[in-house]
Structure 1
Amino acid sequence: MTKHQMRPAPTCPVARSVEVIADRWALLIVRDAFDGVRRFGDFQQGLGVARSVLANRLKSLVEAGIFQVQPASDGTSYQEYVLTPQGQSLFPVVVALRQWGERYLFGPHEEHSQLVDTATGQPLPLMQPLAADGRAIAPEQARVNKVV
């Protein structure tokens, strides 16, 4: 059992998710992994995070099943941190945070990085929750059925 599985578990999926990935460094590590970063030193250099903090976060992300450690792909003695399918499924979360930041945290003409479709070179469309029939769903059109 991992340390995340041993904690008292709230019935809210958001609360459980926050417990695992809502740390600033954890999310930035996952973001960098989507950009192709795999080695400890490369994460540290790109993020400017202390070695001890990075080691702790990577260990937690491995324990949570978001990363797996494997031998370096170039045959050196290094290890690489590779997103698991569970980690890969965080892509929409990272995209949604990026799009929210682009919309609300930058001025109209302020430059920022941009996520584009590699096939077309076009920016990704705004992520939005959809109903089963494809309709866009606003917050007031959804509800949480809470455990009683």
Structure 2
Amino acid sequence: NGNLNLETASRKRRKISVKYHDEDIEECYHKVRILSNNPTVTDLENSLDETQVELEEDIIRLEDTKKNLQQVIESEKQHGNEVLFRVIQSKNEDMIRYSQEKDEINRRLQGENNRNKEEINRKEEIIRRLIEENNRKEEIIRRFED
């Protein structure tokens, strides 16, 4: 049984060795070990060593995966920043284009406004001349009437 302490095992070994030869004991031990498949301390230590190696390999793989994921995240951040920069640049270009269109419309409206003012001034001048001419004619008519 695997729960025996070393002292008990040592005493039992001495009792058994008195009755049996060492070779018989060894052969029996191997048969029992194979049949019962009870792991020995060495087997357990080996198993722990293998498990530790597997865990260390897993840790290395996880660290590699972490590095790769960090690179992907950085790449995505960079890509996101580039996309954001392009969007901002596009919006700036749209704003500049809109501002230029607005300036062009304002220039055209200012030109139309100036032409309208000139037309108004010209018509006012015509009206002023007609009024003056009318006043002269009325003056001439008054003189003839007097």
Q: Which has the higher contact order (CA 8 A, sep 6+)?
A: 1
Settle same-fold status: TM greater than 0.5.
no
**TM-score (norm: length of structure 2):** 0.20
Q: Per residue, is there more helix in 1 or in 2? A: 2
